[in-house]
């Protein structure tokens, strides 16, 4: 019974972390209608940034966002405006085409290989004091970094939701996602909104990276594993829907953690994709997706 | 018209090739490479010296070279009037087909009287077949595929343990530790990555573990690329095993080891079987959490047997790196060959085969390996071949088992200290 509770708690925590990683993907798709295949390698870059700040400058992992978030927001803003936007513009003018998707695949390959080149194919684990901290309630052991990651992820997703719904900027971002042409007529620079959205995607990934570093290894392909999860989560919850990404994350986290207790971890992996296919067949827009 | 010409030309060439092949097989029955009055014994060495496995090919070659240098410097093969051993190396490029044709070339044009190689099982398997056809003895020092010695071949001799012995050695180790300390492991957990490698280990464990009177309380395959291995760790905790067996790659081994330490899951011992657990990256990234972990491997520089340290020092002085399992295997195999040559008294493949099959060697530097003697059974397998168990102590891998090969400065710690009691 204790193990079941532990598995459920772990599933919830990991699920909300998955959700946090997936919201960026969902946001970029919702606003720009771009499927970003570089999402995983963006996460890898954020993880390396946090890792080196923790290991070389002795920062506390949870404080690193103070420096890394602005830096990577700017990085994301520039990448969008200098690399993605020109291709997007051409696509809008010529109509159709899938050049942007190929561009993101290209970016993924470039970034992964740059990581290999600069950081090597080594596994890097930041062994910080909090990594091995646990909370014991009765016979239930809860890993503290996981708990922090889970709770903070929920708060961050809520904050992003509030930002998108309550602030003018948020409303502009949502409006751009709904109708780019109409937004232009209202005097909003749609490409600037794209830049900001991509920057926000980076912010969410950096925060996720700061939460993950105390408990996870960094490797040039570390983000890839989470990227695959993110795609499943986003499609499951509904493309472009933040609530959907959160719900999808929780569902995947629970399936992964709880079914592995009854069956095996291999079966859990299979179940995740089975659920994914079923949702696609029965509810093609995802659980919370709009028609 | 011209394309037809090309096709007919190709056909002609193919036919000629086939004729040549049948011509070759017509040769069998004789021992064409026999030569009794020689100044040197030609040994054909087949190794992957280019391609992705080239580093291991090079390291193996160094093992052969060092041994041959020593044997020749000590007066060569005395029964052959001080004949020197001469290595003739061929590059298999890690490819079975090239391995076969290179073996053919070594035997046919270089006239070697004995062969050795080829590191990879996939190359060793077909190239031993070539040697069998020409009746040339073939010493296999490091290829582990079980079937290599299961084809009724008379000319294949394997000095290292086959794959099937690995899982058994892990179980034997646990049984022996239990007897020695009075704390026998009864509940065993199997934790393995779910592809070919892990599954074949699990299949073997499921035979070996119950046979040793232990119960399998957990059978946990997992995908090596999982983003979260906590579910697996929780299952281990729930099963409460005394002994945990792993087959893992590097990233999963790191996550599992750190997670088990964090959850403070105590057992008598945890043992890996190479792969991730033998990767230096693993130790670097687990730090204190991998302390007291066991790992089964073929050889280590601290094997407590005479000649190991001296040989490794010589090797390091010559090549700048420590010996590893492959180079030690190849090194030792040359001493097995030298012994057979002395007893054969002739540079004749048939006599060498005869001598090899009667090997009962427990001296010379062939003994830098963990086994205490070399004897081949009728399949050509060295029945005394042995593996070692290392334990991580103060961040170093030290040999603690078997008794005959252990590092004299260390005793195996079994059961390992509880996580709560460690500093």
Q: What is the spatial distance between Cα B59 and Cα B71, in angstroms, rounded to a whole number? A: 19
Q: B251 and chain A: CB distance < 8 Å anywhere?
A: yes
Q: What is the spatial distance between Cα B367 and Cα A242, in angstroms, rounded to a whole number? A: 66
> B91-125: per-residue pLDDT in tens?
999 899 999 999 999 999 999 999 999 989 899 99
- Measured between CA atoms, the residue of chain B closest to residue A126 is B285
Partner-chain contact B225 A127, CB within 8 Å:
no
CA angle B170-B175-B177, nearest 5°?
95
Q: Which one, of B36, B29, B24, lies nearest residue B109 by Cα? A: B24
- For the CA atoms of B312, B313, B316, B322, what is the dihedral angle to 10 degrees? 40
| Confidence (pLDDT) at A174 | 92
Chain B residues with CB under 8 Å of A226 CB are: 227
What's chain A's average pLDDT? Answer: 90
Q: Which one, of A7, A1, A5, lies nearest residue A260 by Cα? A: A7
Q: What is the spatial distance between Cα B137 and Cα B91, in angstroms, rounded to a whole number? A: 19
CB-facing half-sphere around the CA of B122: CA atoms within 13 A: 9
Q: Which residue has the higher pLDDT, B291 or A99?
A: B291
pLDDT over 70 at B22, yes or no? no
| Confidence (pLDDT) at A200 | 94
Residue by residue, what is the 3-state secondary structure of B27-39? Answer: CECECCCCECCCC
**β-sheet bridge partners, residue B383:** none
Q: Are A115 and A48 in contact (CB under 8 A)?
A: yes
Q: What is the spatial distance between Cα B320 and Cα B73, in angstroms, rounded to a whole number? A: 21
User: Could you give phi then psi for residue B102, rounded to 5 degrees?
Assistant: -70, -40
Q: Which residues contact B184 (CB under 8 A, 6 or more apart)?
A: B175, B178
| Confidence (pLDDT) at B195 | 83
CB pairs under 8 A between A and B: 91
- Residue B6: which pLDDT band, with cuts at 50, 70 and 90? low
What's chain B's average pLDDT? Answer: 89
pLDDT over 80 at A156, yes or no? yes
| Confidence (pLDDT) at A97 | 67
| Confidence (pLDDT) at B273 | 87
Task: Kindly state the greatest CA–CA separation across chain A.
Answer: 64
Q: What is the spatial distance between Cα B161 and Cα B159, in angstroms, rounded to a whole number? A: 7
* Residues making up chain A, counted from first to last: 291
Q: Which residue has the higher pLDDT, B215 or B54?
A: B215
Fold of B40-161+305-368: Rossmann fold (3.40.50)
- Residue B5: which pLDDT band, with cuts at 50, 70 and 90? low
Rg of chain A taking only CA atoms, in angstroms:
19
| Confidence (pLDDT) at B19 | 46
Q: Which residues contact B209 (CB under 8 A, 6 or more apart)?
A: B171, B188, B190, B215, B216
The mean pLDDT value for A74-101 works out to 87
From B78's Cα to the closest Cα of chain A, the distance in A is 50
- Residue A127: which pLDDT band, with cuts at 50, 70 and 90? confident
What token pair was written down for A148? 């922090």
pLDDT over 50 at A190, yes or no? yes
pLDDT over 70 at B302, yes or no? yes
Q: How far lies B182's CA from each of A9, A147, A171, A173, A209, in Å?
A: 39, 41, 71, 69, 47
Q: What is the spatial distance between Cα A105 and Cα A111, in angstroms, rounded to a whole number? A: 10
pLDDT over 90 at A289, yes or no? no
| Confidence (pLDDT) at A180 | 87
- Residue B68: which pLDDT band, with cuts at 50, 70 and 90? very high
pLDDT over 50 at B21, yes or no? no
Domain residue ranges of chain B, discontinuous segments joined by +: 40-161+305-368, 165-297+387-421
Count of C-beta atoms within a 10 Å radius of residue A137: 10
Q: Token pair 């490479």 is at which residue?
A: B33
Q: Which one, of B243, B158, B234, lies nearest residue A6 by Cα? A: B234
Q: B354 and chain A: CB distance < 8 Å anywhere?
A: no
Q: Is B61 exposed, middle or buried (0-12, 13-18, 19+ CB in 10 A)?
A: buried
Partner-chain contact B222 A266, CB within 8 Å:
yes
Q: Are B166 and B296 in contact (CB under 8 A)?
A: yes
CB-facing half-sphere around the CA of A26: CA atoms within 13 A: 34
The reply to whether A241 falls in a domain is no
Partner-chain contact B231 A257, CB within 8 Å:
yes
The reply to whether A203 falls in a domain is yes
**β-sheet bridge partners, residue B271:** B245, B294
Q: How far lies B337's CA from each of A64, B302, B413, in Å?
A: 62, 25, 38
CA angle B208-B210-B216, nearest 5°?
105
User: Could you give phi then psi for residue A180, rounded to 5 degrees?
Assistant: -65, -45
The mean pLDDT value for B73-79 works out to 93
- The DSSP result for B349-400, as a single string, is HHHHHHHHHT--B-SSGGGGSSSS-B-B-TTSBBTT---EEEEEETTEEEEE
What token pair was written down for A70? 């602005």
Q: Write out the residues of chain A at the interface with chain B, using a CB-CB cutoff of 8 A.
A: 3, 6-7, 10, 14, 18, 122-125, 127, 131-132, 134, 141, 143, 146, 216-217, 219, 225-226, 229, 256-258, 260-261, 264-266, 268-269
The reply to whether A269 falls in a domain is no
**β-sheet bridge partners, residue A217:** A125
- Measured between CA atoms, the residue of chain A closest to residue B224 is A266
Question: What ipTM is given for this predicted complex?
Answer: 0.79
> A1-59: per-residue pLDDT in tens?
678 888 899 999 999 999 999 999 999 998 988 889 999 999 999 999 999 999 999 88
Q: Which one, of A141, A150, A127, A126, lies nearest residue A211 by Cα? A: A150
Q: Which residues contact B366 (CB under 8 A, 6 or more apart)?
A: B332, B333, B335, B336, B339, B374
| Confidence (pLDDT) at B1 | 41
> Among partner residues A127, A229, A268, which is closest to B231 by beta-carbon distance?
A268
Q: How far lies A166's CA from each of A191, B219, B404, in Å?
A: 21, 51, 74
What token pair was written down for B8? 């007919």
Q: What is the spatial distance between Cα B121 and Cα B119, in angstroms, rounded to a whole number? A: 6
> B169-226: per-residue pLDDT in tens?
999 999 999 999 999 999 999 999 988 888 888 999 999 999 999 999 999 999 887 8
Percentage of chain B surpassing pLDDT 70?
Answer: 91
Q: Which one, of A154, A195, A149, lies nearest residue A176 by Cα? A: A195
- Residue B4: which pLDDT band, with cuts at 50, 70 and 90? low
Q: How many domains does chain A have?
A: 1
Strands B114-117 and B138-140 come out as parallel
Q: Which one, of A268, A288, A274, A249, lies nearest residue A12 by Cα? A: A249
Strand (E) or helix (H) holding A218: strand A217-218
The reply to whether A112 falls in a domain is yes
Partner-chain contact B223 A7, CB within 8 Å:
no
Q: Which residues contact B239 (CB under 8 A, 6 or more apart)?
A: B187, B189, B217, B218
From B377's Cα to the closest Cα of chain A, the distance in A is 41
According to CATH, the superfamily of the domain at B165-297+387-421 is Response regulator (3.40.50.2300)
| Confidence (pLDDT) at B53 | 82
CA angle A29-A30-A32, nearest 5°?
60
| Omega before A84 within 30 of 0, i.e. cis | no
Q: Which residue has the higher pLDDT, A204 or B164?
A: A204
The reply to whether A239 falls in a domain is no
- Measured between CA atoms, the residue of chain B closest to residue A123 is B281
The reply to whether A98 falls in a domain is yes
Q: Which residues contact B195 (CB under 8 A, 6 or more apart)?
A: B224
- Measured between CA atoms, the residue of chain A closest to residue B257 is A132
* Residues making up chain B, counted from first to last: 423
Give residue A190's domain range: 24-222
Is it true that B40-161+305-368 and B165-297+387-421 share their CATH fold?
yes
Give the rounded distance of the alpha carbon of A262 from its chain centre. 28
| Confidence (pLDDT) at B48 | 93
Q: Return the minimum-mean-pLDDT range out of A67-71, A224-228, B126-130, B386-390.
A: A224-228
Q: Are B381 and B149 in contact (CB under 8 A)?
A: yes
The reply to whether A69 falls in a domain is yes
Task: Kindly state the greatest CA–CA separation across chain B.
Answer: 85
From A278's Cα to the closest Cα of chain B, the distance in A is 22
Q: What is the spatial distance between Cα A11 and Cα A5, in angstroms, rounded to a whole number? A: 10
Q: Which one, of B109, B160, B115, lies nearest residue B135 by Cα? A: B115
- Residue A141: which pLDDT band, with cuts at 50, 70 and 90? confident
| Confidence (pLDDT) at B38 | 60
Partner-chain contact A3 B237, CB within 8 Å:
yes
């Amino acid at each position: 019974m204790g193990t079941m509770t532990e598995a459920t708690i772990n599933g919830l925590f990991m699920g909300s972390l998955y959700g946090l990683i997936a919201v960026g993907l969902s946001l970029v798709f919702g606003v720009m209608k771009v499927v970003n295949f570089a999402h995983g390698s963006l996460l890898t870059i954020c993880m390396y940034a946090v890792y080196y700040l923790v290991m070389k400058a002795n920062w506390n992992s949870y404080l690193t966002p103070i420096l890394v978030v602005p830096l990577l927001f700017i990085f994301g803003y520039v990448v969008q405006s200098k690399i993605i936007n020109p291709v997007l513009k051409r696509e809008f003018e010529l109509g159709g085409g899938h050049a942007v998707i190929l561009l993101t695949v290209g970016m993924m390959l470039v970034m992964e290989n740059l990581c290999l080149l600069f950081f090597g194919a080594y596994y890097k684990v930041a062994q910080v004091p909090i990594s091995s901290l646990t909370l014991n309630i009765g016979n239930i052991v809860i890993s503290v970094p996981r708990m922090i990651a889970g709770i903070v992820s929920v708060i961050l997703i809520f904050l992003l939701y509030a930002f998108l719904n309550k602030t003018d900027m948020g409303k502009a971002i949502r409006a751009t996602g709904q109708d780019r042409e109409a937004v232009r007529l209202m005097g909003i620079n749609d490409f600037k909104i794209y830049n900001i959205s991509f920057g926000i995607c980076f912010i969410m990934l950096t925060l996720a990276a700061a939460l993950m570093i105390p408990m996870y290894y960094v490797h040039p392909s570390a983000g890839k594993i989470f990227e695959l999860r993110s795609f499943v989560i986003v499609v499951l919850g509904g493309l472009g829907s933040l609530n959907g990404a959160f719900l999808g994350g929780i569902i995947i986290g629970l399936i992964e953690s709880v079914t592995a207790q009854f069956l095996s971890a291999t079966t859990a992996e299979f179940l995740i994709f089975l659920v994914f296919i079923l949702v696609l067949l029965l509810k093609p827009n995802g659980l919370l997706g709009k028609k | 018209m011209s394309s037809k010409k090309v096709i007919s030309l190709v056909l002609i060439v193919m036919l000629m090739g086939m004729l040549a092949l049948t011509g070759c097989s017509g040769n069998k029955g004789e021992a064409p490479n026999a030569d009794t009055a020689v100044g040197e014994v030609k040994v054909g060495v087949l190794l992957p010296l280019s391609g992705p496995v080239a580093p291991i090919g090079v390291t193996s070659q160094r093992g052969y070279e060092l041994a041959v240098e020593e044997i020749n410097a000590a007066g060569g093969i005395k029964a052959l009037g001080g004949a020197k051993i001469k290595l003739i190396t061929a590059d298999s490029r890690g490819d079975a087909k090239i391995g076969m044709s290179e073996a053919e070339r070594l035997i046919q044009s270089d006239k070697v009287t004995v062969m050795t190689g080829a590191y990879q099982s996939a190359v060793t398997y077909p190239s031993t077949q070539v040697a069998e056809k020409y009746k040339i003895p073939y010493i296999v020092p490091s290829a582990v595929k079980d079937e290599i010695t299961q084809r009724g071949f008379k000319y294949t001799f394997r000095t290292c343990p086959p794959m099937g012995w690995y899982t058994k050695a892990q179980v034997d180790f646990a049984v022996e530790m239990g007897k020695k300390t009075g704390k026998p492991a009864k509940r065993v957990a199997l934790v393995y990555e779910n592809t070919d490698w892990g599954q074949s280990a699990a299949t073997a464990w499921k035979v070996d573990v119950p046979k040793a009177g232990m119960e399998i309380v957990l059978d946990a395959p997992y995908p090596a690329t999982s983003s979260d291995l906590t579910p697996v760790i929780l299952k281990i905790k729930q099963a409460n095993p005394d002994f945990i067996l792993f087959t893992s790659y590097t990233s999963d081994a790191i996550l599992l080891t750190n997670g088990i330490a964090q959850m403070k899951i105590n057992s008598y011992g945890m043992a890996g079987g190479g792969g991730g657990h033998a990767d230096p990256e693993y130790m670097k990234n687990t730090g204190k959490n991998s302390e007291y972990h066991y790992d089964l491997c073929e050889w280590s520089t601290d094997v407590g047997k005479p000649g190991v340290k001296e040989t490794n020092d010589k090797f390091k002085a010559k090549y700048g790196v420590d010996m590893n399992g492959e180079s030690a295997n190849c090194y030792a195999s040359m001493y097995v060959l030298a012994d057979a040559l002395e007893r054969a008294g002739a540079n004749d493949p048939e006599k060498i085969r005869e001598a090899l099959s009667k090997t009962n060697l427990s001296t010379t530097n062939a003994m830098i390996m963990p086994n205490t003697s070399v004897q081949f059974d009728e399949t050509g397998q060295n029945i005394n071949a042995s593996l070692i168990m290392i334990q991580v102590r103060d961040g170093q891998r030290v040999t603690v088992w078997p008794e005959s090969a252990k590092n004299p400065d260390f005793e195996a710690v079994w059961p390992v200290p509880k996580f709560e009691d460690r500093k």
